[in-house]
Structure 1
Amino acid sequence: MSIEPLFTFRNRWFTTSVAVTAGLFLVAALAGFLWLPSLQSNRGQAAEGAGGIWGEICSAAGVFRPGPAKSVTKPDFRGTQVALTPTLLKGADAASVGRGATLALQCSMCHGARGLSEADSPNLAGQHPLVIYKQLQDFKSGARSSAVMEPLVAKLTDQDMRDLAAFYAYLPRAPWNIPTDAPPPRIVISGAPVRGIAPCGACHGTLSMKPGAAWLDGQSPVYIRAQLVAFAAGTRHNDIGQQMRNIARVMTAAEIDEAARYYAGAQQ
């Protein structure tokens, strides 16, 4: 049995092991800090913003290296510019409601003389004033498109929109015929957590109410379906933070139909 120490360079096995380990480390370092970054740099994935090969090496090592600013790709449509706050419409009085009643005469053909539609347009009676104000602002700015609404809101001032919101919020809501032949749809009460869908009632009533979220009880099922489909397709895009687009695009057709029929209060 040999009594020569193991960890000494006189031991050829120890020397060979150290040499192989050092060689593997050198190959890994060259691949990780030179070869792979050069490939990514050549492909143009991040070379411009990071400063070429040296920037890629710094990035691979986890070292931040500021580079020239990159251009930001902006959407080819306008988003809502309305910032909703609890005090946004504070101070509406009887005079504001009266002015809104006069302005609402031009809205009665679609939304009804008392804010209740018979043409599958949204019912506005009793709607939250923030909802009405935001939608009017979005129609005027182009964040929400409608061949009917855009010409009507073109000449409205900010005060006009506040007065209309005050008037419609003042009107009594229509009675909601809650469906009693079946429990509320799961999408309304529980959502679909696995797909990242919050319950409809968490924002639109039943469970809670989020500022700017419309009161849906008693709305036309045709209108609700149409809006969910538009959000899912991205043709309606005035929701703040894309919350409705993110939800609608992962809802099934059956869930859209169930929610529309439930809030309409009728099995249609």
Structure 2
Amino acid sequence: MNEPLFSLKNRWFTIGVGAVVLVFVLAFLVGLVWLPRAHAQDPNATLWDAICSAAGAPARYQNPALPDEKAVYPSSVIVNSQMMGPVDAASVGRGATLALQCSMCHGARGTASAGTDAPHLAGQPPTSTYKQLRDFKSGHRPSSVMQPLATNLSDQDMHDLAAFYSQQTRETLIQHAALREEVPRLVSNGSPMRNIGACATCHSPGVARAATPVLDGLPEAYLRDQLNAFKSGRRANDINQQMRNAAHQLSEQEVDILAKYYSAR
């Protein structure tokens, strides 16, 4: 007597189901257990960490230079649109005095001298400069130059410096040479298939997103180094890993294109 096709009493159906289950289990063990463990960058990672990583779940960034209770956070700064408050004249005045010790690299008014490869701070949103100073001081953004300088700054000092630089005029090549360079597609549209958002969404001067720098006119070498730092994970003070996730997908040629484009503006 013939058994129903979809019945465990049917030998061939049972064999087929068993084969599918066996293949699934083997694929799971190889793809989510053996391979992640064999290629794990952190030898101390647990099996669960390896499985989560292979499944695409982002791991929390651990900075070994920070205390355990702070190491899992990319920044100690709580970013919001009101984090700085209004910029007043007294704060700008105090910031001008403090900025004298920064002039060797960043220029007297926040425009760095040619050849230093230091970023221009003039015209940067105050929330951006403030956050980076806080991150340098806390160690969330490592720098052999900036960390020692930021260590002795108080929170008010950092507010004042950010306020001063935000009020300075940002020099750009566009203003002087009337350049009209073609906008790279990554800047205007991003690359959605690779989970890369358009750079202009956050970094255009008119967007004024909290704690987000304006990239126009920054030195080419500085831009290239920072993109590569995000790409490799050497720099990891971006909240929610938005820059690391985007830069990780960039090719060397794309990093070069973006650095050249923004430095020429």
Q: Which amino acid aligns with 2:256?
A: D
Count of residue correspondences: 225
Do 2:205 and 2:214's aligned partners in 1 also have CA atoms closer than 8 Å?
no
RMSD (Å) for aligned C-alpha atoms? 3.2
Q: Equivalent residue for 2:244?
A: 245
Distance 1:245 1:103, change over 3 A: same
Q: Equivalent residue for 2:44?
A: none
Q: Equivalent residue for 2:162?
A: 165
Distance 1:255 1:103, change over 3 A: same
For the residues of structure 1 that align with 2:223 and 2:10, how far apart are their CA atoms? 63
Match of 2:3 among 11, 17, 22: 17
Q: Is the counterpart of residue 108 in structure 1 residue 103 in structure 2?
A: yes
Q: Which amino acid aligns with 1:94?
A: A
Match of 1:121 among 111, 118, 122: 118
Q: Which amino acid aligns with 2:3?
A: S
Distance 1:206 1:196, change over 3 A: farther
Moved over 6 A (4+): 34-40, 70-73
Q: Pick the structure with greater CA Rg.
A: 1
What is the Cα deviation at residue 36 of structure 1? 10
Do 1:202 and 1:210's aligned partners in 2 also have CA atoms closer than 8 Å?
no
Do 1:201 and 1:207's aligned partners in 2 also have CA atoms closer than 8 Å?
no
TM-score norm. by structure 1 comes to 0.73
Q: Which amino acid aligns with 2:186?
A: I
Mapping 1:1-268, distance limit 5 Å: 13=1, 16-17=2-3, 21-24=7-10, 75-77=61-63, 78=71, 79-118=74-113, 119-177=116-174, 180=179, 182-205=181-204, 208-265=207-264
Structure 2 gaps, min length 5? 34-47, 53-58, 64-70
TM-score norm. by structure 2 comes to 0.74
What is the Cα deviation at residue 146 of structure 1? 0.4
Q: Which amino acid aligns with 2:204?
A: G
Structure 1 gaps, min length 5? 1-12, 47-69
Give aligned-pair identity as a percent.
42
For the residues of structure 2 that align with 1:20 and 1:120, how far apart are their CA atoms? 70
For the residues of structure 2 that align with 1:207 and 1:98, how far apart are their CA atoms? 26
Q: Equivalent residue for 1:66?
A: none
For the residues of structure 2 that align with 1:37 and 1:182, how far apart are their CA atoms? 52
CA deviations 1:101-152 (Å, max 9, x no partner) are: 1111111111011111011100001100010010001001111000010000
For the residues of structure 2 that align with 1:37 and 1:237, how far apart are their CA atoms? 36
Q: Equivalent residue for 2:40?
A: none
Do 1:176 and 1:217's aligned partners in 2 also have CA atoms closer than 8 Å?
no
- Tell me which moved more, 122-131 or 167-176: 167-176
For the residues of structure 1 that align with 2:240 and 2:259, how far apart are their CA atoms? 23
